[in-house]
């Protein structure tokens, strides 16, 4: 970054400080990861200069031959990675991908059924403060408060809810749900009520690609994802279809009168429906990340992500922490801190002061506000990328516990911060 240091030393200093923060601290935010130098190089390439509205071979600008090749490479690799028939790699984010799905399949006021945000769902799955809840009639299902399914979705109750509200679209996926999904049962429910089934696999895309979690592609009509998080690519989005199908809304091609494929509606919903020009440098970085995810090393990484999460969950349980659903199937652990007498907000702050980055998070049936919360969400993808194994995450649980059990002890915080920095020195992030 020698050019940046000369051209804009003020911003360069900020970047260097962020590099030091990432390198010297423990990153446990479940939605974050560390990309390879190759991904960063592609994202910082000259492809940022190119406008390329449209699709490869069908652009509205000239000079797109080489970026067409880059986008085709990204699409081909994504298809191979997920065994799907169609993909659009242009969405700028997961939220952008989701917006395109809504535009393609719903009209304002139509009913959608999704996992409640306070139960681990996502903002774009119908929250009243988000466009998805403002434009559409958002209805929700949730997790159980007690009993053998505590913290889990009761599929029988979900079926009852679907029969009650008769949604046009049912969404799966979450930002803080620690269990896998029964896609076959979801599809049976969707078929019964005449709904399309959509999976937002943003959090678990890398684990699904590697076969560590159930595959939504054979069962869901549409799948969306981010390309970062467990997939370990650049920040961006993507839409996929396992097997393309005629759209069920009767929309036809203007000239031929043939029924359009669902993929065509989604392509149009991305551009020109919700976006202008695609970010070709980010698409190139996606291609790099998809290529990395196709390698055997990535499968080993994903397996380690889950093993680390299980080790971390077991260690917390042994220390009398209340975990939502009492464990995890994926990469994250959601902790209800109410029996520890501390809010999620305070836990996030004091852990941050010890160089352990987490995020406060609502837990199901929370009695605190979203800005305070009763829980914290922890994830293993980023530190697994750095090379940590199960025993290292058990050690991290000890450090976290020391901070939480001594929330106002600056001496303990300083001791833990020193141990965190020593740990991070053993697992350097970006070596020169």
Of the residues 116, 200, 267, 392, which is catalytic? 200
Pick the catalytic residue from 24, 53, 68, 409.
53
State residue 108's pLDDT score: 98
- Residue pLDDT, tens place only, 171-205: 999 999 999 999 999 999 999 999 999 999 999 99
Active site residue 226: yes
pLDDT of 289 over the 80 cut: yes
For position 313, what pLDDT does the model report? 98
Overall average pLDDT of the 96-107 stretch: 98
Question: Is residue 60 annotated as part of the catalytic site, yes or no?
Answer: no
Does residue 53 carry a catalytic annotation? yes
Instruction: Give the CA distances from residue 338 to residues 368, 373, 377, 405, in Å, rounded to whole numbers and listed in that order.
Output: 10, 10, 14, 13
Catalytic residue list contains 306: no
What tens digit of pLDDT does each residue of 29-73 get? 999 999 999 999 999 999 999 999 999 999 999 999 999 999 999
Rounded mean pLDDT, 221-230: 98
Give the active site residue among 229, 286, 310, 360. 229
The Cα–Cα gap between 74 and 202 comes to 17
Average pLDDT over residues 201-223: 98
pLDDT digits 0-9 by tens, 68-99? 999 999 999 999 999 999 999 999 999 999 99
Of 77, 179, 235, 286, which one is the catalytic site residue?
235
Per residue in 2-27, pLDDT (tens digit) is: 899 999 999 999 999 999 999 999 99
261 counts as catalytic = no
Residue indicated by tokens 């959608």:
112
Per-residue confidence (pLDDT) for residue 2, from 0 to 100: 83
Q: Please calculate the CA angle 237-230-41 and round it to the nearest 5 degrees.
A: 65
When pLDDT is cut at 50, 70 and 90, the band that residue 430 belongs to is confident
Return the pLDDT at 432.
58
At 136-185, the pLDDT tens digits run: 999 999 999 999 999 999 999 999 999 999 999 999 999 999 999 999 99
Q: Has residue 1 got a pLDDT over 90?
A: no
Catalytic residue among 124, 226, 230, 373: 226
Q: Judge contact between 275 and 59, C-beta under 8 A.
A: no
How much is the pLDDT for 182? 98
Domains of the chain as residue ranges with CATH: 42-293 (3.40.640.10), 304-425 (3.90.1150.10)
Q: Is 68 one of the annotated active-site residues of the chain?
A: no
Is the pLDDT at 394 greater than 90, yes or no? yes
């Amino acid at each position: 970054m020698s050019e940046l240091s000369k051209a804009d030393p003020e911003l360069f200093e900020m970047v260097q400080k962020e590099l030091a923060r990432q390198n010297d601290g423990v990153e446990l935010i479940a939605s974050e990861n560390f990309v390879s130098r190759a991904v960063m190089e592609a994202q910082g390439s000259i492809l940022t200069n190119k406008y390329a509205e449209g699709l490869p071979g069908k652009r509205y600008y000239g000079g797109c031959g080489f970026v067409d090749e880059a986008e085709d490479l990204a699409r081909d690799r994504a298809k191979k990675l997920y065994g799907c028939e169609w993909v659009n790699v242009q969405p700028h984010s997961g939220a952008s991908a989701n917006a395109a799905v809504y535009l393609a399949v719903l009209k304002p006021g139509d009913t959608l059924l999704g996992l409640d945000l306070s139960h681990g769902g996502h903002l774009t799955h119908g929250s009243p403060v988000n466009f998805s809840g403002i434009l559409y009639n958002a209805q929700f299902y949730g997790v159980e408060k007690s009993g053998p399914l505590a913290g889990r979705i009761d599929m029988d109750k979900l079926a009852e809810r679907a029969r009650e509200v008769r949604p046009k679209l049912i969404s799966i996926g979450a930002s803080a749900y620690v269990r896998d999904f029964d896609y076959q049962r979801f599809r049976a429910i969707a078929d019964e009520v005449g709904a399309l089934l959509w999976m937002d696999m943003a959090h678990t895309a890398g684990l699904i690609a590697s076969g560590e979690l159930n595959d939504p592609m054979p069962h869901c009509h549409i799948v969306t994802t981010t390309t970062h998080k467990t997939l370990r690519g650049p920040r961006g989005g993507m839409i996929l279809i396992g097997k393309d199908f005629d759209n069920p809304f009767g929309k036809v091609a203007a000239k031929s009168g043939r029924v359009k494929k669902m993929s065509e509606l989604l392509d149009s919903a991305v551009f020109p429906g919700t976006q202008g020009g695609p970010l070709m440098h980010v698409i190139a970085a996606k291609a790099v990340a998809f290529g990395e995810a196709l390698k055997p090393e990535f499968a080993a990484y994903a397996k380690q992500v889950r093993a680390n999460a299980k080790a971390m969950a077991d260690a917390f349980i042994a220390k009398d922490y209340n975990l939502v659903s009492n464990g995890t199937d994926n990469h994250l652990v959601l902790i209800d801190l109410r029996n520890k007498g501390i809010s999620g907000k305070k836990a996030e702050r004091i852990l941050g002061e010890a160089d352990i980055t987490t995020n406060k998070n609502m837990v199901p049936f929370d009695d605190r506000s979203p800005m305070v919360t009763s829980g914290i969400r922890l994830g293993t993808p980023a530190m697994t990328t750095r090379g940590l194994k199960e025993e290292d995450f058990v050690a991290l649980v000890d450090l976290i516990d020391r901070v939480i059990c001594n929330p106002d002890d600056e001496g303990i915080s300083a001791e833990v911060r020193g141990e965190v920095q020593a740990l991070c020195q053993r697992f350097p992030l970006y070596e020169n």
